[in-house]
Structure 1
């Protein structure tokens, strides 16, 4: 089968698409023909060996996928050959086949394409966990989303609206701000402008942001916290901007504010029941059509490097997806 193979931790331009043996199955596992794989910021860090945990070399990157069950000996989890599924695992999705345990999968709802399914779980579970389980956002609160046109940012805009928040989307270009507004933002801000905090103050009637969803990092994070409302919650989701900010400790004191970490990788082991509940809510919204995940550009498998480069340049609108097979 064809697969993207990371033999050494190197930049994406040095990663190759290779012919490799199909993965071996163990008892209780299923073989999936991968139709589409989503890629995110973490995938890029893993390839370069810059993530907090390292996959043993060599490995096939990619955590999110959608496809069709090829083999299911004993029908583990009730899955049968021919069923369309979506899933998430540690690695292996950027390949024509993947072998997983049944708990990595969900049946694909009717009418949901493979591209949509492959761009769904990581971003939308992150957003719902952050906003609901961590920040406990309530209807009517003011939500500021930084990097609002990226994968997790777009998910936060959409989930924030579903939870009843007033969503203010911060993005760096007119195209990104239009994209955020098209996906549900009530208002937009250009955070590259010197006076953007004044704009935020006007938009919130002097109240500030009750919740800040922050996958960006850098100096913008510190500036955003300076505009947080009393008892506001700042969600630390990631550092797509490249720099880890240093927050002066007097700011949480003066604002009565809280800094809350959001690490999707730890939820399955530390809060499995929370993850189960949130995934049930997300799958319900998806099946009912209340949630329409934002797919960015779709790339052919041969063009996987360009998919990563687009994401790393922060030129992505929505999530990047690699089409593996039809």
Structure 2
């Protein structure tokens, strides 16, 4: 294939700047793999990138998309262990929302039989974030409790499933009854409305007055401070992201009085800086994927030429779990 279609962000003005364009395929460099994308999973950073509001800020024109699944078309001569025809999952800093994607071999892993292409396209980011936050940073133990904010989102739902896999008691928050039902189906022991003025008190009721050992927060905003009132003595507060758009300021005196720890989570950057962690994380994720742990819930699926609609679902906060773009054309 000498050319391919892609969803191109042409200006930093949001999803409406996306245009379907044809690009010429370039030759592979050392260590690279060319994938025929079957499905791409959307993440909140994809939306932020179209507005120029993500920490990684590519200049237009560029192809968004951080993760995908598909079949290998071609590998560079020095690539070992990956061959044309392999069914794979892959991740990167962008480029997945296209019929072809070139990634480094280190970013490619086998697609387990337990996952479809669409599930595989939505698995890596949520699973790696949940594992890194709860295991590497939060050290969550089987008998402990965790409060997952934004539990109906892709990362939040992965955290619910990961925490239950570990054996913890899980409390999740969801803003609608439909979202709360999905969180229950994902395995949460208790589900609350984040707007509930008694949220902190109810969390304490669920934990025999102690509060939760771990808070998993990909939301930020005012809800973060509410969650600190529900945290246990010596608890761990995992700062995962700011999907609400608000970056909270934590009162240092409260942190001191309750002796909880504020812990930053960079699931992508931390392994890049720590090769030993990268090896451990990669091995753990391969095992989890092979066992079908954290299978993503996909609420919306769109063809490639409806990428604008797919991103708008994220922007309107209508997604439950994940949104996927498949490489097909709408009728």
TM-score range, shorter chain: over 0.9
Contact 1:226–1:251 (Cα < 8 Å) also in 2: no
State the number of aligned residues. 326
Report the 3-state secondary structure (helix = DSSP H, G, I; strand = E; otherwise coil) of the residue aligned with 1:38. strand
Note the C-alpha offset of 1:66. Answer: 0.4
Q: How far apart, in 2, do the equivalents of 1:139 and 1:269 lie?
A: 28
1:206-253 superposed Cα distances (whole Å, 9 cap, x missing partner): 010110000111100011012110000111111111111111111101
TM-score in terms of structure 1 length = 0.96
CA distance 1:114–1:10, shift in 2 (3 Å): same
Aligned to 2:273: 270
Q: How far apart, in 1, do the equivalents of 2:295 and 2:327 lie?
A: 22
Note the C-alpha offset of 1:292. Answer: 2.2
Q: How far apart, in 2, do the equivalents of 1:279 and 1:248 lie?
A: 36
Q: Is 1:304 aligned with 2:293? A: no
Q: 1:78 aligns with which of 76, 81, 84?
A: 81
Note the C-alpha offset of 1:182. Answer: 0.2
Q: How far apart, in 2, do the equivalents of 1:192 and 1:263 lie?
A: 27
Q: How far apart, in 1, do the equivalents of 2:285 and 2:299 lie?
A: 20
CA distance 1:325–1:25, shift in 2 (3 Å): farther
1:257-309 superposed Cα distances (whole Å, 9 cap, x missing partner): 01111122312321232132123222212212344232231111111111111
Aligned to 1:118: 121
Question: Mapping of 1:204-215 within 5 angstroms?
Answer: 204-215=207-218
Note the C-alpha offset of 1:75. Answer: 6.5
Aligned to 2:70: 67
Question: Mapping of 1:138-149 within 5 angstroms?
Answer: 138-149=141-152
Note the C-alpha offset of 1:24. Answer: 3.3
Q: Is 1:37 aligned with 2:40? A: yes
Contact 2:33–2:72 (Cα < 8 Å) also in 1: yes
Q: 2:316 aligns with which of 299, 313, 316?
A: 313
CA distance 1:195–1:291, shift in 2 (3 Å): closer
Note the C-alpha offset of 1:113. Answer: 0.7
Q: Is 1:100 aligned with 2:107? A: no
TM-score in terms of structure 2 length = 0.94
Q: 2:16 aligns with which of 13, 17, 20?
A: 13
Report the 3-state secondary structure (helix = DSSP H, G, I; strand = E; otherwise coil) of the residue aligned with 1:77. coil
Report the 3-state secondary structure (helix = DSSP H, G, I; strand = E; otherwise coil) of the residue aligned with 1:279. helix
Contact 2:154–2:296 (Cα < 8 Å) also in 1: no
Runs of 4+ in 1 over 3 A off after TM superposition: none
1:138-192 superposed Cα distances (whole Å, 9 cap, x missing partner): 1111100000010000000000011111001111111111101101101111121
Aligned to 2:50: 47
1:39-86 superposed Cα distances (whole Å, 9 cap, x missing partner): 111111112111123113321111101010111243713111111111
